[in-house]
Amino acid sequence: DAGVIQSPRHEVTEMGQEVTLRCKPISGHDYLFWYRQTMMRGLELLIYFNNNVPIDDSGMPEDRFSAKMPNASFSTLKIQPSEPRDSAVYFCASRTTAGNTEAFFGQGTRLTVV
């Protein structure tokens, strides 16, 4: 398995534009997490899914943020409209329910909103 795959690796966009971040979890993992990392706030949990169902989205900062998981192998995090304060590294991670086990992170997407 290639691990958790995120795309794009880097995204630069203008304020007001829509941004879509993508994640492919490890095959067989039934949990998928979206995190945002900044110097000020560390690793913030935005939302997580279990078996493609959103479980907790209390970390989603505003209505401008939305996430979907249409199937077990794909998830998106969308920001519309984007703002400069959304600039951060966004990580996707996945893990399996079988016992309490390690969560594996993707390489992250570095988003810059100008």
CB of 85 to another protein, least distance (A): 18
Q: Give the C-alpha distances (Å, rounded to integers) separating 106 from 1, 3, 67, 102, 109.
A: 13, 7, 17, 13, 9
> Least distance to another protein from the beta carbon of 45, Å?
6
CA distance 24 to 5: 5
The residue within the footprint of another protein, chosen from 25, 67, 95, 109 (CB under 8 A), is: 95
Determine which residue in the list 24, 108, 109, 113 makes contact with another protein, applying CB under 8 A. Answer: 108
What phi and psi, each to the nearest 5 degrees, are found at residue 85? -70, -5
Q: What residues line the site for another protein (CB under 8 A)? A: 31, 33, 35, 41-43, 45, 48, 50, 55-56, 58, 91, 93, 95, 97, 100, 102-103, 105-108
